[in-house]
Structure 1
Amino acid sequence: MSTAILGTSGEDRSDYTREESRSIRRRSLRLLGSLVGNLRWQLVLAAVVLIVSTALRVAGPALITYGINTALPAAVDRMDWMPTIGVVAVYLLTAFGGAGLVGWYAVVAARLTQAIMLDLRKRIFLHTQRLSLEFHESYTSGRIISRQTSDLDTIRELLDGGLNELVSGLLYGGFTLVALLLLDWQSGVILVVMGIPLFFLMRWFYLRSQLVYRESRVISAQVIVKFVETMTGIRAVKAFRKEPRNDDEFGGLAMRYRDVNIRSIRLFGTFEPGLMSIASVSLALIVFWGGVRVADGAIAIGTLVGAVLYVRNFFSPLQEVAFFLNSYQSATAALEKVSGVLEEEPTVPDPAEPVDLWEARGHVRFDEVRFGYSDERVILPDFTLDIPAGQTIALVGTTGAGKSTLAKLVSRFYDPTRGAITLDGVDLRSLHPKDLRRAIVMVTQEAYLFSGTVADNIALGKPDATVEEIQDAARAVGAHEFIEALPDGYATDVNKRGGRVSAGQRQLISFARAFLADPAVLILDEATASLDIPSERLIQDALQTLLSDRTAIIIAHRLSTVAIADRVLVMEHGRIIEDDAPATLIEGDGKFAQLHSAWQQSLV
């Protein structure tokens, strides 16, 4: 198995080693750096606005100190009110100016956040589409949904509020400390000394909350995965009466999620009283020592008032910083998950120097191919096969023989571990992706229909197809009549998963889609499994039309479909044990003859 998938499987863990944690943080920082790389000037503008607004807000206590020490005595002793009026005017100017700049900063920061989130949301969608089938078969849909929804919402909340609170809080605290040192250096020294227990408190909260919130994100993803899987497979749940077991499993996950959230609340419940205690002790020491010096005439009363205001202002944003740490841990864990997905590389990469194949004939060859989903699980040990252009072959064999794996290799959903698969002599790994997808089309048992009209779903095989071409394709596979009978004909909205059409009708629509695409190689992987016997007989002619003049690979357990093949390959343990025309194999006494005899008896 590839290292990319191994990395994914270990992503939703909370027990990282120190080196793994460092690597994950570096990965997350790289992602963050790439997101803000194109927003430098907006960041500069936000920084300038924030710095100026913070400086204006910090000026308040200094102006009050000047007013008490200088302006007020001038008014009382000499009846000179100009200094007082000047102080009040400047105070109001700084207050309103700071408020206006804070509002402007909020707008600039919001635009930055939305630009980053738009970029990140698009990256996740585009990247997960680009990843190979191996990733999607290993990474559950619930986890993908969690990355695109709850994880992105957590990151948005951090950028919207938490990050602004951190930056403005730290900047405001730094400016306040500098202003206090300039106003009264002794009070500033007391505050610096009290910063020592404050540092240890913040560090304790940060380290403990880091573990709690990483665990919270892991459990949150598990809750989402369980919910999505249950709702997606609700028919199986009801068919096998799995509701009580699901209730217990989901209840257990929900209780674990509740418990981890309670632990985070307890952490904050310890941190906040500790912060208030340090703030109260700092304020008490400064008031006491300042009072002693005021009594001695060393400082003026206004200076003490200014120092007290600065100390209160210093501690007030620290609670906001703690709230940031609260959301930061959750957002960091979410960013780790998102960056993990974006770090995944396709295991089936596009060729560096693609080879064009404008007109494919359909000659497919396996040349000593070895393939396994892991080193221990080898499906095709040493496989060689030549399929001439225009030939229809049928693959039969027991479950696990390697039939669907062979189809996935031809479609290049996977690459062989060793050897080569060629189309008209060109290695699929070198073929241009657009030529590969145009030349080879697979129709699966699922026959997935996207939200939209019937015509839209057929045109998936040829987006620029006309209405007439779409209808001709439907007629060719016998789907036109039932489509016309739908409420709005070809304009009928099939809803999610084709809710307005039956499983067999969905399959016919997928046949029409493949016919319209007109590939050189068509693969039918259990494509008639959703059809009942009468329906299957009705579309035998449609299949003849669909398969004519192109190379076709049919994988089917129903041997009625095999009868239209030019050649039957019987597979067992990744090897071909029989290879001949259907009639010849039926007349023999091999594996296919036994399967055919058992199938005929089942029809009686």
Structure 2
Amino acid sequence: MTTVTGVEGEERNDFNKVESRQIRDRSLRLLGSLLRPLKARVTLTIVVVVISTAAQVAGPALIAYGIDTGLPRMIKQDWLPLGLAVAGYLAAGIAGAILISWYTVLTARISQAILIDLRKRVFLHTQRLSLEFHESYTSGRIIARQTSDLDSIRELLDSGINQLVQGGLYMLFIAGALFSIDFWSGVVLFGSLVPLAFLLRWFQKRSQRAFRETRTASARLIVHFVETMTGIRAVKAFRKEGRNAVQFAALTEDYREANLKTIRLFGILDPGLVLIGNVALGVVLLVGGLRVAEGGLAIGVLLAALLYTRSFFAPAQDMAMFYNSYQSAAAALEKISGVLEEQPSVPDPIKPVDLWEANGELAFRGVEFAYTPERVILPRFDLEIPAGQTIALVGSTGAGKSTLAKLISRFYDPSDGSIRLDGVDLRSLHPKDLRRAIVMVTQEAYLFSGSVGDNIALGKPDATNEEIIAAAKAVGAHEFIMALPDGYDSDVNKRGGRVSAGQRQLISFARAFLADPAVLILDEATASLDIPSERLVQEALQTLLADRTAIIIAHRLSTVAIADRVLVMEHGRIVEDGTPRDLISGTGRFAKLHAAWRDSLV
């Protein structure tokens, strides 16, 4: 038993290592693709920062030259060495300042170019991903990718990289300069690197874990906030404010505790860096002072060595802060690269087939659909829907009606078999032709910010005002639109908050009718309408659905009356198929549903 458990543990560790390596490689590939177009700019930036750092480091060496060479020569009335030292010091300072300014601008341009590229990639890619991804990946997590994660990368690019590059080069150049002017002072400085390395390694191990906890706590906080604000109607309806406050307080406390762990680490790191720096400075002063007293070291060189030693430790804290930013950005880049690695479960065809004018004939050939092998939603079936026929899909909740509609819209692909439009497999059909031929109206009736006219025009972006008004009149939406303050130019506000649920549905109807598809799918699309509005829409439907294929999914059996054919579904299977009149007069499932509905009206 122990042996098996040990082997399983080793295999799990090996798997985790491989997975971590794959995630790291994925992030590096993404970073490389972002930097590749900026090679020339990055190269120029490297040259600028190297020269600017060298100019900054030259100062103490020039001071040593001025003291040890310039001052004795000045006593002999030779002002040239001291003048050269002063002029060189001023020139190095001015050059360093100018180059640092240039470097700051260059790095800002590079970071902004990377962020713009990455932000566009995330937005465009998430739009291209299939509905399956968005139904499993919460909106809060998507928002976190575009906000907090990109902010973490921005902080690293804006300041973290500067801290690393400038700090690392500064320390390297200082060490080189110190060794060049006095070898033994360089040895003392080199010895101080041992405790410095231990301190930084200690900080690295603990800060990595602490910062990941901070990132996780932050993500949970954002997700909870976004979901609360998105579902504020449900929060109000079910008086969930109190529970939300308790949950949010707990998440906030977790976030505070995670941040406190990170702050405690810096509470040890910062004093440790100061202590190591002061000890090194004291040793250099002691050793150098004794050598000056013995005549083995010039006073100017000792002063330069002290200045270099003191300056050497200044970037160490910045580099530790870089690691802090790096951990945050690395975790964010891993998550973003994970999203960008996602592939659409419904890919566009490699060689699309054009279908400029669709008639609307649908054929299901051996279709089967399952979200997972263990969860079969639609067992294998065949179905023919002639062009121009209006089909009503009825059945209990969970029978598979909406899944069937999603397959027709190609939000999902069948697990087996094929769905054909006018003889063309939907998987081979050009995406533009597919979206033009098949339009789905859902119960949600989502409206985007903008005017009523803009929302209707989504069905046909180049539509004229006359066409927009005609579509609204066709579904009975014209009167209430004209009653709005600015008519068709009225702003619907966020998610259509200015109009009622039924009015939003009518606008979505007008949008779909304006698109004039060959196949129109109405998935519970009349559920938000009151009885007068539903009757008005049904009158419009009889006219507008006359020359197109329509699939109507409805629990209200009054909507079924306009259908040419009714399909009754149970557990993913079509159990009844016939005209409304024939099925009502029978003794099957639909007849019972219709009788129950009629009794409810009475």
> When the two structures are superposed, what TM-score results if normalisation uses the length of structure 1?
0.96
Q: CA deviation at 1:333?
A: 1.4
- Whole-Å Cα distance in 1 between the matches of residues 170 and 399 of structure 2? 69
Displacement after TM superposition at 1:143 (Å): 1.0
The amino acid that maps onto 1:585 is: L
Tell me, in whole angstroms, the C-alpha distance in 2 between the residues paired with 1:491 and 1:103.
Answer: 49
Within-5 A mapping of 1:331-350: 331-350=329-348
Query: Shift of the alpha carbon at 1:497?
Result: 1.1
Corresponding position: 1:507 with 2:513: no
2-structure distance, mates of 1:42, 1:272: 35
Structure 1 distance, partners of 2:209, 2:110, is 29
Residues 397, 571 of structure 1: 8 Å contact kept = yes
1:131 match: 129
Which stretch of the first structure deviates more once superposed, 329-338 or 223-232? 329-338
Rounded Cα–Cα distance in structure 2 between residues aligned with 1:537 and 1:145: 40
CA distance in 2, matches of 1:490, 1:42: 49
CA distance in 1, matches of 2:338, 2:310: 42
SS of residue in 2 equivalent to 1:539: helix
Give runs of aligned pairs for residues 410-425 of structure 1, distance below 5 A: 410-425=408-423
User: Residue 52 of structure 2 corresponds to which residue in structure 1?
Assistant: 53
Give SS of 2:49's match.
helix
More off after superposition, 88-97 vs 287-296: 287-296
Superposed CA deviations along residues 106-132 of structure 1, whole A, max 9, x for unmatched, are: 111111111111111111111111111
Residue equivalent to 1:293: 291
Please list, as runs of the form range in 1=range in 2, the aligned pairs for 1:425-504 lying within 5 A after superposition. Answer: 425-504=423-502
Could you tell me which residue of structure 2 aligns to residue 597 of structure 1?
A: 595
How far is the alpha carbon of 1:375 from its aligned partner? 2.1
Tell me the residue number matched to 1:330: 328
**Larger mean Cα displacement after TM superposition, 186-195 or 153-162:** 186-195
**1:188 pairs with 2:186:** yes
SS of the residue 1:450 aligns to: coil
In the aligned structure 2, how far is the partner of 1:111 from the partner of 1:232? 35
Q: Which residue is equivalent to 1:11?
A: none
Q: Match for 2:479: what amino acid?
A: E
1:546 positional shift? 2.6
In structure 2, the residue matched to 1:396 is 394
Counterparts of 2:272 and 2:544, CA distance in 1? 75
Contact 2:475 2:536 in 1 (8 A): no
Residue 186 of structure 1, CA deviation: 1.6
| 1:515-554 equivalent positions in 2, closer than 5 A | 515-554=513-552
In structure 2, distance between residues paired with 1:271 and 1:396: 67
Q: 1:152 aligns with which of 145, 150, 153?
A: 150
The match for 1:24 is 23
Q: 1:275-326: per-residue Cα shift (whole Å, max 9, x none)?
A: 1222122222222222222222222111111111111111111111111112
Name the residue aligned to 2:71. 72
Q: Secondary structure at the match of 1:279?
A: helix
Paired position in structure 2 for 1:97: 95
State the Cα deviation string for residues 344-365 of structure 1 (Å, max 9, x = none).
1111111111111111111111
Corresponding residue for residue 12 of structure 2: none
Supply the AA of the counterpart residue of 1:278. I
CA offsets, 1:525-564, max 9 Å, x none? 0000000122211221111123111111110000000111
Which residue of structure 1 aligns with residue 553 of structure 2?
555
8 Å contact 2:57–2:174 — kept in the other structure?
Answer: yes
Aligned to 2:5: none
Aligned-partner SS, 1:369: strand
Q: Distance in 1 between matches of 2:153 and 2:201?
A: 22
Deviations 1:183-211, CA, capped at 9 Å, x for gaps: 11121122222212212221221221111
Hey, what's the Cα distance between the residues in 2 that align with 1:556 and 1:562? 7
Structure 1 CA distance for aligned equivalents of residues 427 and 336 of structure 2: 29
Q: How does 1:368-387 map to 2 (within 5 A)?
A: 368-387=366-385
Within 5 Å, which residues of 2 pair with 1:162-201? 162-201=160-199
> Which residue number in structure 2 is paired with residue 359 of structure 1?
357
Cα shift readout 1:443-500 (whole Å, capped 9, x = no counterpart): 0001111111111111101101111111111111111121122111111111111122
Match of 2:263 among 265, 271, 281: 265
Deviation at 1:218, TM superposition (A): 1.5
Is 192-201 or 495-504 further displaced after alignment? 192-201
Flag the 1:159–1:88 CA change in 2: closer, same or farther, 3 A. Answer: same
**Aligned partner of residue 411 in structure 2, secondary structure:** coil
Which residue pairs with 2:585 in the alignment? Answer: 587
Cα separation, 2, equivalents of 1:261 and 1:120: 27
Offset, 1:83:
1.5
Paired with 1:437 and 1:140, the residues of 2 have a C-alpha distance of 25
Compute the displacement of 1:139 (Å).
Answer: 0.9
Q: What is the CA distance between 1:383 and its match in structure 2?
A: 2.2
Structure 1 letter corresponding to 2:47:
V
CA deviation vs aligned residue, 1:241-280 (integer Å, no higher than 9, x gap): 1111111111111100000000000111111122122212
Distance 1:204 1:27 in 2: 27
| Gapped regions of structure 1 (runs ≥ 5) | 1-15
* Higher mean C-alpha displacement, 390-399 vs 535-544: 535-544
Check if 1:63 corresponds to 2:62.
Answer: yes
In the TM superposition, what is the alpha-carbon distance from 1:41 to its structure 2 partner? 1.1
Distance of 1:383 and 1:443 partners within structure 2: 25
CA distance in structure 1 between the aligned counterparts of 2:156 and 2:513, rounded to whole angstroms: 50
CA distance in 2, matches of 1:203, 1:426: 62
CA distance in 2, matches of 1:462, 1:30: 39
Q: How far is the alpha carbon of 1:21 from its aligned partner?
A: 2.5
Q: Distance in 2 between matches of 1:442 and 1:220?
A: 37
Name the counterpart of 1:6. none
Q: TM-score, normalised by structure 2?
A: 0.96
Q: Give the AA of the match of 1:345.
A: Q
What SS class does the counterpart of residue 372 from structure 2 fall into?
coil
| Aligned 8 A contact 1:477 1:545 in 2 | no
- Name the structure 1 match of 2:8: none
Give 2:11's aligned residue.
none
The whole-number CA distance in structure 1 between the counterparts of 2:476 and 2:186 is 87
Contact kept in structure 2, 1:206 and 1:325, CA below 8 Å: yes
